[in-house]
Homo-oligomer: A and B are copies of this chain.
Amino acid sequence: MSEVNVAIDPFWDVNIDIPGVNVVRWDLEGEAPGPLDIVVTGHWVPGDGAERAAKAGAKLLQIGSIGFDAVNPDLPEGLQVANAATVHETATAEMVLAMLLAGLRNIPQMVADNKEHKWNTFYYEGLADKKVMLIGVGGVGREIMKRLEPFAVDLTLVASRERDEDFGHVYSLDQIDDLLPEQDVVIIVIPATDATKGLVNKDFLAAMKDGATFLNAGRGTLAVTEDLAAEGDRLHLLIDVVDPEPLPADSPLWEAAQLITSHNGGNTKAMHPRMQALIERQAKHALAGEPFENVVLGK
């Protein structure tokens, strides 16, 4: 292609300046602004986004999130869908460390003390020397690993199947029964599938030792909310995602958790320059007649 027409949702704070790439802003509402090659949604994907993009002639629907469960997989002919891998991992991994350090230094207690103007010196757990299990070693998991590395923790990796990776040995979910009781911290960021939904239930939590920390930054449905709430006195619960969202005001989890971060994992400015870089790469792929990257549907 000598020219590529890209429509970008106004949500994105990006400025694409590549010869041959024409950019218009479009939120996928109303008429398409002329014929398009690539349509970029906002952070979330409209239910009929694929149909609207295809109608405007687009070959690629670039969505703004990593999860693509909102897109109807029964795609119009000739359209591919790419997810936003590389865009959100930075902010989400950062939030996991923020939650972990806040929990293990008890920053919620400090915030409460601050409100009362109370200088409160106390010793607390800390993250150093802790045994940490990370369930999920995809893009977000690997960014968490990088950030944990200088904190002197003893890390155990878990994913759906056992394997050796360049970043270490990965145990399978089938093997965690023996590993869970020795962990000080369990972090879950694995995708929610039929195999993983409800994984963190009564039995899983009961296997964790007294005072251990559980952190969910994957999907709310990975854990059974009422089972979490029932363990709040025994475990430290750090919750970014929960089932359902928003968490109802009368949920006992509000009092049971040490910290709830209201699914703000990916919500920083870091996503914009990374989305800009992804859109630039996709536009150059189109100009060069190369395959798109991050294609998750319509392969």
Interface residues in chain A, defined as those with a beta carbon under 8 Å from any beta carbon in chain B = 90-91, 94-95, 97-98, 101-102, 104-105, 107-108, 110-114, 117-129, 146-147, 149-152, 245-247, 249-251, 254, 257, 259-264, 267-270, 273
Contact = CB atoms under 8 A, between A and B. Distances in A.
A249 to B, nearest CB: 4
A262 B119 CA distance: 5
B245 A122 contact: no
Nearest to A148: B150
Contacts of A128: 90-91, 94, 268, 270
A153 to B, nearest CB: 11
A146, A147, A249 — most chain B CB neighbours (10 Å)? A147
Contacts of A110: 259-262, 264
Contact of A267 (B111, B122, B151, B261): B122
Nearest to A257: B114
Contact of A245 (B119, B152, B257): B119
Query: Sorted from nearest, which 4 A-B pairs have the closest CB atoms?
Result: A126-B268, A119-B246, A98-B101, A128-B270
B269 A123 contact: yes
Contact of A260 (B114, B125, B147, B250): B114
A151 B94 contact: yes
Contacts of A149: 150
B121 A262 contact: yes
A25 to B, nearest CB: 19
Nearest to A258: B114
Nearest to A272: B129
Contacts of A121: 246, 262-264, 267
Given A98-B101, A259-B110, A264-B124, A117 B269 contact: no
8 contacts: A97-B97, A105-B261, A105-B264, A107-B111, A108-B111, A117-B249, A124-B267, A126-B269
A124 to B, nearest CB: 6
Nearest to A247: B119
Contacts of A112: 111
A114 B259 contact: yes
Given A105-B94, A110-B262, A113-B262, A129 B269 contact: yes
Given A90-B152, A147-B151, A267 B123 contact: yes
A125 B269 CA distance: 6
Contacts of A261: 105, 107, 110
Contacts of A118: 249
Nearest to A265: B105
A95 B104 CA distance: 10
Contacts of A91: 126, 128
A66 B120 CA distance: 21
